[in-house]
Structure 1
Amino acid sequence: MDHVRLYLEHLPKVEQRIRAALNERYDGKPVFASTGQALNILNDQLDTWLWPMIKAEMKRVEQYRQELDGCEEQHRLSIACNGEVAYDVQGPMLRNRRRRNEADH
Protein backbone atom coordinates (compact mmCIF):
# COMPACT_ATOMS: atom_id res chain seq x y z
CA MET A 1 0.00 0.00 0.00
CA ASP A 2 2.98 2.31 0.47
CA HIS A 3 3.56 2.29 -3.29
CA VAL A 4 -0.05 3.23 -4.00
CA ARG A 5 0.15 6.05 -1.46
CA LEU A 6 3.41 7.24 -2.99
CA TYR A 7 1.93 7.44 -6.49
CA LEU A 8 -1.32 8.98 -5.26
CA GLU A 9 0.72 11.62 -3.47
CA HIS A 10 3.16 12.43 -6.30
CA LEU A 11 1.19 11.99 -9.53
CA PRO A 12 -1.04 15.04 -8.90
CA LYS A 13 2.15 17.11 -8.48
CA VAL A 14 3.47 15.73 -11.77
CA GLU A 15 0.18 16.62 -13.42
CA GLN A 16 0.35 20.18 -12.05
CA ARG A 17 3.90 20.70 -13.33
CA ILE A 18 3.03 19.35 -16.78
CA ARG A 19 -0.15 21.42 -17.01
CA ALA A 20 1.79 24.53 -15.99
CA ALA A 21 4.44 23.86 -18.65
CA LEU A 22 1.76 23.27 -21.31
CA ASN A 23 -0.04 26.43 -20.27
CA GLU A 24 3.18 28.43 -20.36
CA ARG A 25 4.11 27.07 -23.78
CA TYR A 26 0.72 27.27 -25.51
CA ASP A 27 -1.32 29.62 -23.30
CA GLY A 28 -4.48 27.75 -24.30
CA LYS A 29 -4.06 28.80 -27.92
CA PRO A 30 -4.00 26.57 -31.00
CA VAL A 31 -0.77 25.77 -32.80
CA PHE A 32 -0.55 27.55 -36.15
CA ALA A 33 1.38 26.01 -39.01
CA SER A 34 1.57 25.92 -42.78
CA THR A 35 -0.96 23.73 -44.52
CA GLY A 36 -0.15 20.08 -43.87
CA GLN A 37 2.56 20.83 -41.29
CA ALA A 38 0.59 21.06 -38.03
CA LEU A 39 0.71 17.33 -37.29
CA ASN A 40 4.45 17.19 -37.98
CA ILE A 41 5.05 20.17 -35.68
CA LEU A 42 2.96 18.63 -32.89
CA ASN A 43 4.69 15.25 -33.26
CA ASP A 44 8.07 16.97 -33.13
CA GLN A 45 7.08 18.87 -29.98
CA LEU A 46 5.81 15.65 -28.40
CA ASP A 47 9.07 13.85 -29.17
CA THR A 48 11.51 16.61 -28.29
CA TRP A 49 9.76 18.42 -25.45
CA LEU A 50 6.70 16.80 -23.87
CA TRP A 51 7.75 13.12 -23.64
CA PRO A 52 11.20 13.93 -22.24
CA MET A 53 9.58 16.19 -19.64
CA ILE A 54 7.08 13.50 -18.63
CA LYS A 55 9.87 10.91 -18.40
CA ALA A 56 11.95 13.26 -16.23
CA GLU A 57 9.00 13.85 -13.90
CA MET A 58 8.32 10.11 -13.61
CA LYS A 59 12.01 9.50 -12.94
CA ARG A 60 11.68 11.75 -9.90
CA VAL A 61 8.75 9.66 -8.66
CA GLU A 62 10.79 6.52 -9.32
CA GLN A 63 13.56 7.87 -7.07
CA TYR A 64 11.04 8.18 -4.23
CA ARG A 65 9.91 4.62 -4.91
CA GLN A 66 13.49 3.36 -4.74
CA GLU A 67 13.95 5.14 -1.42
CA LEU A 68 10.80 3.43 -0.20
CA ASP A 69 12.10 0.04 -1.29
CA GLY A 70 15.27 -0.55 0.67
CA CYS A 71 17.52 -3.52 -0.02
CA GLU A 72 15.51 -5.83 2.24
CA GLU A 73 12.23 -4.93 0.52
CA GLN A 74 13.74 -5.38 -2.94
CA HIS A 75 15.02 -8.82 -1.90
CA ARG A 76 11.66 -9.75 -0.38
CA LEU A 77 9.87 -8.76 -3.57
CA SER A 78 12.38 -10.56 -5.79
CA ILE A 79 11.64 -13.91 -4.13
CA ALA A 80 7.88 -13.35 -3.81
CA CYS A 81 5.66 -16.00 -5.35
CA ASN A 82 8.46 -18.57 -5.46
CA GLY A 83 10.64 -16.28 -7.57
CA GLU A 84 8.00 -15.68 -10.25
CA VAL A 85 8.23 -11.91 -9.75
CA ALA A 86 11.97 -11.92 -10.39
CA TYR A 87 11.49 -14.25 -13.34
CA ASP A 88 8.86 -11.95 -14.86
CA VAL A 89 11.05 -8.88 -14.37
CA GLN A 90 14.23 -10.56 -15.59
CA GLY A 91 12.44 -13.05 -17.82
CA PRO A 92 14.01 -12.29 -21.18
CA MET A 93 17.50 -12.25 -19.68
CA LEU A 94 16.92 -15.51 -17.79
CA ARG A 95 15.33 -17.22 -20.80
CA ASN A 96 18.29 -16.25 -23.00
CA ARG A 97 20.71 -17.60 -20.38
CA ARG A 98 18.76 -20.89 -20.24
CA ARG A 99 18.84 -21.19 -24.03
CA ARG A 100 22.61 -20.64 -24.08
CA ASN A 101 23.10 -23.23 -21.32
CA GLU A 102 20.91 -25.75 -23.16
CA ALA A 103 22.80 -25.13 -26.39
CA ASP A 104 26.13 -25.76 -24.61
CA HIS A 105 24.99 -29.17 -23.37
Structure 2
Amino acid sequence: MDERQFFTEKPEQRPASLQCPRCRRTADYTIRWIRRTKKANVPAGADPRDRALFDKSKDHLIRVDDDVTCKVCGKRFEIPSHRALIFLEELEGLPQEDYDE
Protein backbone atom coordinates (compact mmCIF):
# COMPACT_ATOMS: atom_id res chain seq x y z
CA MET A 1 0.00 0.00 0.00
CA ASP A 2 1.28 3.46 -0.91
CA GLU A 3 2.01 5.70 2.10
CA ARG A 4 0.13 8.59 0.45
CA GLN A 5 -3.10 6.69 1.19
CA PHE A 6 -2.44 7.27 4.92
CA PHE A 7 -2.54 11.07 4.54
CA THR A 8 -4.68 13.94 3.33
CA GLU A 9 -2.55 16.28 1.19
CA LYS A 10 -3.06 20.04 1.08
CA PRO A 11 -0.78 22.58 -0.66
CA GLU A 12 0.44 25.54 1.39
CA GLN A 13 2.94 28.36 1.17
CA ARG A 14 5.35 29.57 3.83
CA PRO A 15 7.74 32.53 3.85
CA ALA A 16 11.52 32.11 4.01
CA SER A 17 14.34 34.64 4.16
CA LEU A 18 17.09 33.46 1.79
CA GLN A 19 20.42 34.90 0.65
CA CYS A 20 21.45 34.75 -3.01
CA PRO A 21 24.92 33.16 -3.35
CA ARG A 22 25.74 35.42 -6.33
CA CYS A 23 24.79 38.94 -5.20
CA ARG A 24 24.72 38.19 -1.42
CA ARG A 25 21.41 40.06 -0.97
CA THR A 26 18.82 38.66 1.44
CA ALA A 27 15.16 38.71 0.46
CA ASP A 28 11.89 37.09 1.52
CA TYR A 29 10.54 34.35 -0.73
CA THR A 30 7.37 32.27 -0.68
CA ILE A 31 8.16 28.55 -0.63
CA ARG A 32 5.56 25.96 -1.64
CA TRP A 33 4.97 22.97 0.65
CA ILE A 34 2.55 20.04 0.79
CA ARG A 35 0.99 19.47 4.22
CA ARG A 36 0.31 15.78 4.82
CA THR A 37 -2.16 15.21 7.65
CA LYS A 38 -2.65 11.67 8.92
CA LYS A 39 -6.13 10.24 8.33
CA ALA A 40 -8.23 9.17 11.31
CA ASN A 41 -8.45 5.49 10.32
CA VAL A 42 -6.33 2.94 8.49
CA PRO A 43 -7.39 2.69 4.81
CA ALA A 44 -9.36 -0.38 3.77
CA GLY A 45 -7.32 -3.31 2.51
CA ALA A 46 -4.35 -2.68 4.81
CA ASP A 47 -2.34 -5.70 5.96
CA PRO A 48 -0.57 -5.91 9.37
CA ARG A 49 2.59 -4.32 7.95
CA ASP A 50 0.57 -1.37 6.62
CA ARG A 51 -1.18 -1.00 9.99
CA ALA A 52 2.20 -0.82 11.74
CA LEU A 53 3.40 1.85 9.28
CA PHE A 54 0.17 3.80 9.79
CA ASP A 55 0.63 3.74 13.58
CA LYS A 56 4.17 5.15 13.25
CA SER A 57 3.34 7.83 10.67
CA LYS A 58 3.13 11.52 11.68
CA ASP A 59 1.81 14.75 10.18
CA HIS A 60 4.51 16.50 8.14
CA LEU A 61 5.37 19.08 5.48
CA ILE A 62 7.18 18.23 2.23
CA ARG A 63 8.95 21.06 0.38
CA VAL A 64 7.90 21.30 -3.28
CA ASP A 65 10.24 24.10 -4.40
CA ASP A 66 13.92 23.22 -4.75
CA ASP A 67 15.10 26.57 -6.09
CA VAL A 68 14.01 30.20 -6.33
CA THR A 69 14.89 33.17 -8.53
CA CYS A 70 16.76 36.04 -6.87
CA LYS A 71 14.63 39.18 -6.71
CA VAL A 72 17.70 41.42 -7.24
CA CYS A 73 19.96 39.77 -9.84
CA GLY A 74 17.50 37.29 -11.40
CA LYS A 75 19.74 34.23 -11.01
CA ARG A 76 18.10 30.96 -9.96
CA PHE A 77 19.62 29.37 -6.88
CA GLU A 78 18.95 26.27 -4.84
CA ILE A 79 17.26 26.62 -1.47
CA PRO A 80 20.20 26.02 0.89
CA SER A 81 18.49 23.61 3.24
CA HIS A 82 18.78 19.88 3.59
CA ARG A 83 15.35 19.89 5.27
CA ALA A 84 12.87 18.94 2.58
CA LEU A 85 10.62 17.22 5.13
CA ILE A 86 9.55 18.77 8.45
CA PHE A 87 7.37 17.07 11.04
CA LEU A 88 4.57 19.34 12.26
CA GLU A 89 5.38 18.59 15.90
CA GLU A 90 8.72 20.41 15.33
CA LEU A 91 6.79 23.54 14.32
CA GLU A 92 4.80 23.71 17.57
CA GLY A 93 5.60 26.85 19.50
CA LEU A 94 6.32 28.84 16.33
CA PRO A 95 3.85 31.53 15.21
CA GLN A 96 0.77 29.97 13.63
CA GLU A 97 0.26 32.07 10.51
CA ASP A 98 -1.83 30.90 7.57
CA TYR A 99 -0.12 31.42 4.21
CA ASP A 100 -2.57 29.49 2.06
CA GLU A 101 -3.69 30.97 -1.23
Asked if TM exceeds 0.5, the reply is: no
Q: Which has the higher strand share?
A: 2
- Which structure is larger by alpha-carbon Rg, 1 or 2? 1
Q: Shorter chain as normaliser: what TM range?
A: under 0.3
**TM-score normalised by the chain length of structure 1:** 0.20
Q: Which has the higher helix share?
A: 1
**TM-score normalised by the chain length of structure 2:** 0.21
